[in-house]
Amino acid sequence: MKDKVVIVTGATSGIGKATAEHFGLNGSKVAIVARNADNVESTLKTFLSKGINCVGIVADVGLKSDCERIVNETVAAYGTVDVLVNNAGISMRALFIDADISVIERLMQVNFWGTVYTTKYALPYILKNKGSIVGVSSVGGLIGLPARTGYSASKYAMQGFLNSLRTENKKTGLHVMVACPGFTSSNIRNTALTADGSPQGKSPREEGKMMSAEKVADYIYKGVVKRKRTVTMTLDGLLVRGLSRIFPKLFERAVYNTMAKEPDSPFEKLD
C-alpha cells in the first residue's frame, strides 16, 4: 500500500483512527476525515509526528456536499484516490416504539447515505486505479439487533449497496470489501443516540473485554491487501453468519437475552 491514497472517514477515534494510522505507517497517503475540527487537527499533528503523509478534512458524511468536498480536497492534495474506507458511523440504544423517528433518519443519513455519497464521488478515481472501497459494517448488519433498529437497518443497507456494487463491477477490476467487526472498544457506544436523539454518554458494556480498534484495523488493512470480499473478525460473527440462517428463532432469542442483560437495558420495561 506504499504511496496509495487512502480516505478514511470517522478517522479521529476508534476503528477509523486506528485504520488511518495503520495505512499511514505502511506508507500510504491518508486523508483523515471527521466532523470535529479540533479532533481532526489533533489527529493530524499526531500522525505527522509519526512520519505519516496525511491531510485533515473537516466534514460531515451525512451531507452530500461535504462528501463531494472530501474527494475534491483529497484529489487536490494527492491527485487521485486508491482506497476509500467508509467507517464514519453512529449507533443508537432505544426501543423503536420509544425512539423519535429523527434518530432513525440520522443513523441512515450517516451510516448508509454517507457511504453512498462518498463512494459516488470517489468511484471514478478508484475505478481508474482498480482500487478498493471498504464498508465498515457490524455483526448488526448480519442479524437484527434489538434496541438498535436504526443501526442494524443502516448496516444492512450499507452491505446490500456494497454487495450490489461489487457484482456490478465484476469486469472493471474494482475491489469491494465489507468488514464486520464484533463489539470493539471505541467511542461509538458513548455517543450512541438515545430515544430523544441525545447521546447516552457512557457505554453499557465492558470495553476492556472487547476487540481493540488496532486489531480491527489490522484485519481491514490485510483484507484490502488481499482484496477480500468480506472480513468477519470474531467467532460470534462467524456463528451469526452461518447458524442464524439455520436456527433463526434460536438466534433471535439468544441475541435478545444477551442485549437485555446490559445495564439500564431498555428491555426492562417489557419484562
Q: List, by residue number, the catalytic residues.
A: 151
Phi first, then psi: what are they for 228, rounded to 5°? -80, 155
List the one residue out of 240, 45, 263 whose CA is nearest residue 155: 240
Which DSSP state fits 63?
Answer: S
Q: Are 155 and 88 in contact (CB under 8 A)?
A: no
The count of residues in the chain is 271
Q: What is the DSSP string of 34-61?
A: ES-HHHHHHHHHHHHHTT--EEEEE--T
Q: Are 145 and 91 in contact (CB under 8 A)?
A: no
Phi first, then psi: what are they for 8, rounded to 5°? -125, 120
Q: Are 54 and 47 in contact (CB under 8 A)?
A: yes
- 103-123 in b/e form (b: 16+ CB < 10 A) is bbebbbbbbbbbbbbbbebbb
Q: What is the DSSP string of 171-210?
A: TTT-EEEEEE--SBSSSTTTS-B-TTS-B--S-SS-GGGS
The torsion of the CA quartet 138, 139, 140, 143, rounded to 10 degrees, works out to 150
Which residues lie below 8 Å from residue 244, measured CB to CB, with a gap of 6+?
Answer: 142, 143, 251
